[in-house]
Amino acid sequence: MQLQGELIPTKQIELLAELLQKALQSLRRNDGHSAESILASACNLARSPTRPIAIGGFAPWQATRIENFCVERINGPITLTMAAAAISRSPSHFCRAFRATFGCSFSKYVVRLRLTRACTLMLTTSMRLSEIALESGLADQAHLCRTFRRIYGESPAAWRRLNRHSPSTGEFMKRADCEESLHY
């Protein structure tokens, strides 16, 4: 497998396969939270060898640590100061390096993570929107609806209806990738 001109080392492929196997086992045990955490680690591993070092940005290990830091705390408060402290940087240096590495501000990145989490929960659970908002780290249902409508152009309930799982066919009625539809 070749990505951006670099070969992924065999050890990383083996570790990726092991993580995916663990996620599958967690899903079979109906442990969605563990599966989601394991899949996030697998995604980070898959992205890590191809991430170029941005001039003035973070080293790859710092970017991975920030991603993991945010994913682990997605349903609680995530401040710029906390994230900067996680990699021992000042908030001002963190802001400049974050934008150079991720191409957006830290707050937009956190909003994207929260909405991606909300989309995943809307597609995979029957939780009420108020519960999804809290589980995604948003203040309440109104915060979820306002932010979701600003980004997606429709309410979470309407998006959920269009994208929900069809019980008769076992497939999604409309495929939608939450991450790719977030435009700022």
Selection from 118, 148, 154, 122 nearest residue 133 by Cα: 118
**Confidence band, pLDDT 50/70/90 cuts, at residue 111:** very high
Its pTM stands at 0.63
**pLDDT, tens only, 126-180:** 999 999 999 999 999 999 999 999 998 999 999 999 887 554 444 444 434 444 4
CA dihedral 4, 46, 147, 111 (to 10 degrees): -100
| Through-space distance between the first and last CA atoms of the chain, rounded to whole angstroms | 32
